[in-house]
Structure 1
Amino acid sequence: MTNGNDTRRRGVWGTIRHVAASDRLAGLIMLSFAFLGLILANLPATAHMFETIAETHIAVPRTNLDLPVGHWAQDGLLTIFFLTVGLDLKQELTTGSLANPKAAAVPMLCAVGGMVTPPILFTAVTALLAQYGPGPAGSLVLTTTGSEIPFAEMARGWAVSTATDIAFSLAVLAIFARALPGAIRAFLMTLATVDDLLAIILIAVFFSALNAWYWFIGIAACAVVWYVLVRMRRVPWPLVAVVGILAWVMMFEAGVHPTLAGVLVGLLTPAREVHGESTPRADRYAGKLQPFSALLALPVFALFATGVHFESLTPALMLSPIVIALIVALVVGKPLGIMATAWLSTHLFGLKMAKGLRVRDMFPAACACGIGFTVAFLIASLAYDNPELSAEARFGVLVGSLIAAAISGVLLSRQSKRYEQRDAREAASRA
């Protein structure tokens, strides 16, 4: 009987790991939760209940940790996602696509270009609407409430459109581009990985309010202890968990966004084989955490991130200056920055694309980089103190990301069919 139960448990866990490892399924699950949050927050029958749950405070006794449930999802659960990001980054920097800077130079530069261009377009569009919009020059009128918002306050969201959601962009590739060469996926993986790293730096630099210096001594101490513990032959996991939680608490108290604790300890985990092990620990740990990240942390975060109430969820909301600016930044700014950087780096600076790829081959994948979601939702909540602006920014991210996904899906599908036809012709000629 016990063996049968163990077999069933292993079967269930295997199914969960399979679903989490599928870019397509994990992306669709997170998208479903994002829509569910938007619906629950705006249906008259569920809006009050959803808001009550999201605003219910949960406190840790004898500490300053007293956050509503929605913030626990953002600051707590999302740390699991950032830990997997840190582990993946460490593996890529050590043995992966970022280990050889020369080979990864073009996608790395494209990541920079894809992060610089969207804020420029976002700022330009908001400035244009402030100048020629329905309100006095230098202010904006939000169509949802008619309230006037100064341009300077609106422009605080410049960083919202900088990040690419690697999970969703790869999900789009998995759904629409099965026949594409692996070099395109590798290009997108490298670009999105560097994009994640730059987004983490943005959060640390621009969206942290530093408090007492002595908390940073505690963070450094936790980092050293973690570094030692995860290199031991037998890792004492209860102690490792305590150190990780302490690092999170000290990040919170120091005024640094606490999810970055996950990135910090992830980067300190060994990414080469130690003690005769067959696989690197960073890679192994990331695989074990992936189900919790993809099927728990990200869906719950998406549920509360998009669960914002609008007085009137109507097509008129699309005329909000923030929504318009974010759509332009994500749908136009991302691919424009990536493609311009790719062309300049290959035509003017002599860098090389992967074998068999041309710059124009990357356009459909570059459009997929306009899918923001996870980190974009997070930055939107950090950039605006005004809940109305934060809500519209998150709605803009959702709409812009869906438009980018639709455009890239169509382009990738057509591109994939061309590769299928080319492969068929080559197979026929060989036959």
Structure 2
Amino acid sequence: MYRVWNFVTNYSLLLIAGAVVALLWANIDPHSYHDFVEFVLIDDFFIGHAHEVDGHIHRTLTLHYLINDVLMALFFAIAAKEVWEAVILQNGSLRGKKAATPLFATLGGMLGPITVYLGLAAILGSTTFDAVSRGWAIPTATDIAFSYLVGRIVFGAGHPAVRFLLLLAIADDAAGLIILAIFYPSGELAMEWFGFSVLVAVATFVIFNWLPRYLDRGDQLRKRSTWMRTKLSFWPYAIAGCLSWYGFQEAGLHPALGLLPVVLTIPHADRAFGIFAEAEQYLHDILNEMEHALKIPVEIILFFFGLANAGVEFSSIGSPTWLVLAGLIIGKPVGVMLFGYIAAHPLKLGLPAGMRTIDLFVVGCVAAIGFTVSLFIAAVAFDSSVQLEGMRVQDAAKMGALFSFVAAIISIVAGKLLRVEKQHS
């Protein structure tokens, strides 16, 4: 089993710490908390929240924008790196038949929550449905770190269901990135700026990645590629990332995804060792070195992400809370179980050796822990002015994402009732 324990423990604990501080602060002194989160760092700047003033776009850089739109781009870049390597590298975990059933289960794990969320919202009436329908993607997310931790508790580190869960979670992250890009733009779309980001990525790949390797054909010393790696290092990609991020902001796409085109251009390893595998620390390709360098900064960023986004007053609990929670704890397990069964049996794609069909339901329960990405989608899905039942829909939906931790308890109970046999090696 891949040794990702230290990685997810560090990320999880700091994120939880930030969320706990935010919840306490928001319920003890909500005014000072919101003043802190919306603190204006620079007014009339070239990055920040956009609003029109006298016919011109005026941007204000707040602390919330800095955390969610600028710094979280590094988190999504790391997630994209793992997805990219899982898809393209030899032994990549999302390649070939071995990934077919998890990918099919991932589809069910997204359609199930959407169906439950929108279905229950429709039952509650048109007023509720109109207010919350934009948040349909919130319960589709799976938090890789927390799901992995709970998966180990339920199945044991050596159980094939844990690897199945990791494949499902990373495919879920990939789908989440696509959903954010397509369905939750940050403003009116300006495709010429998106074209700018793509052009920057293509030019970076050709000049700093493909061309040196092309010129080094037949040269065992690979002088040009080595010079690029040792002399220029990560700087061309860092600069390209800044330009691509700016292009996403101006294009109206969510800026937190702005580094994704450039991630695809960075020289990478020849084969995959697994999701956040310990063996990757010994690889010296630029992509892995950049991930290693970002590890501690991203841990700190996730603390501030929890601090800036989880500060919800308990009085905000309402129907959006229960809709998100129902989508996760009902829709996820049912969707994963149903689609996983279809893939494994009618489609004859099979399950990993040692994994039972009923284990799919337990995997779905574990995958119902949304947290990080669910919080992020809730923050971008609803404008803070949208209200229902006298409360902000955004806050109520965030509370549902936070409450998804109950899925951990449900998973442990389901594992006991369904007689999951733990495998520790």
| Distance verdict in 2 for CA 1:413–1:169, change over 3 Å | farther
Paired residue secondary structure (2:255):
coil
The residue identity in structure 2 corresponding to 1:73 is I
1:31 shift after superposition: 1.6
Paired residue secondary structure (2:137):
helix
Q: Is 2:421 the counterpart of 1:418?
A: yes
1:130-169, aligned counterparts within 5 Å?
130=125, 138-140=126-128, 151-169=129-147
Paired residue secondary structure (1:240):
helix
CA distance in 2, matches of 1:38, 1:278: 40
The residue identity in structure 2 corresponding to 1:255 is G
CA distance in 2, matches of 1:351, 1:258: 38
Q: Is 2:282 the counterpart of 1:282?
A: no
Give the corresponding residue for 1:3. none
- TM-score, scaled to structure 1: 0.79
1:22-421, aligned counterparts within 5 Å?
22-44=7-29, 47-59=30-42, 63-65=46-48, 66-95=60-89, 96-130=91-125, 138-140=126-128, 151-174=129-152, 176-177=153-154, 179-208=156-185, 209-227=187-205, 228-229=207-208, 232-233=225-226, 234-235=228-229, 236=232, 237-273=234-270, 280-293=285-298, 295-308=299-312, 310=313, 313-314=314-315, 317-318=316-317, 320-387=318-385, 388-399=392-403, 401-412=404-415, 418-419=421-422
Are 1:110 and 1:338, in contact at CA under 8 Å, matched by a contact in 2?
A: yes
CA distance in 1, matches of 2:104, 2:235: 41
Q: Deviations over 1:66-95 (max 9, x none)?
A: 232112111111111111011111211123
1:377 shift after superposition: 1.1
Are 2:200 and 2:243, in contact at CA under 8 Å, matched by a contact in 1?
A: yes
The residue identity in structure 2 corresponding to 1:121 is V
Please list every run of 5 or more consecutive structure 1 residues that lacks an aligned counterpart in the other structure: 1-17, 131-137, 141-150, 424-431
CA distance in 1, matches of 2:361, 2:350: 16
The residue identity in structure 1 corresponding to 2:411 is S
CA distance in 2, matches of 1:348, 1:178: 26
The residue identity in structure 1 corresponding to 2:248 is M
CA distance in 1, matches of 2:396, 2:21: 17
| Distance verdict in 2 for CA 1:283–1:362, change over 3 Å | farther
Give the corresponding residue for 1:4. none
CA distance in 1, matches of 2:343, 2:393: 37
1:42 shift after superposition: 1.7
Deviates more, 1:406-415 or 1:321-330: 406-415
The number of residues matched between the two structures is: 375
CA distance in 1, matches of 2:264, 2:146: 23
Give the corresponding residue for 1:428. none
1:283 shift after superposition: 3.6
CA distance in 1, matches of 2:423, 2:114: 37
The residue identity in structure 1 corresponding to 2:294 is L
1:177 shift after superposition: 4.1
Are 2:158 and 2:423, in contact at CA under 8 Å, matched by a contact in 1?
A: no
- TM-score, scaled to structure 2: 0.80
Are 1:270 and 1:282, in contact at CA under 8 Å, matched by a contact in 2?
A: yes
Give RMSD over aligned pairs: 2.7
Q: Deviations over 1:323-351 (max 9, x none)?
A: 11111101111111001011111221111
CA distance in 1, matches of 2:417, 2:252: 47
Are 1:271 and 1:283, in contact at CA under 8 Å, matched by a contact in 2?
A: yes
Q: Percent identity?
A: 27
The residue identity in structure 1 corresponding to 2:85 is Q
| Distance verdict in 2 for CA 1:273–1:22, change over 3 Å | closer
Are 1:322 and 1:396, in contact at CA under 8 Å, matched by a contact in 2?
A: yes
1:225 shift after superposition: 3.6
| Distance verdict in 2 for CA 1:290–1:25, change over 3 Å | closer
Please list every run of 5 or more consecutive structure 2 residues that lacks an aligned counterpart in the other structure: 49-59, 211-224, 272-281, 386-391
CA distance in 2, matches of 1:129, 1:297: 38
CA distance in 2, matches of 1:183, 1:119: 27
Are 1:21 and 1:290, in contact at CA under 8 Å, matched by a contact in 2?
A: no
1:366 shift after superposition: 1.7
The residue identity in structure 1 corresponding to 2:20 is F
Are 1:86 and 1:265, in contact at CA under 8 Å, matched by a contact in 2?
A: no
Give the corresponding residue for 1:21. 6
Give the corresponding residue for 2:274. none
1:40 shift after superposition: 0.8
CA distance in 2, matches of 1:284, 1:188: 26
CA distance in 2, matches of 1:420, 1:154: 42
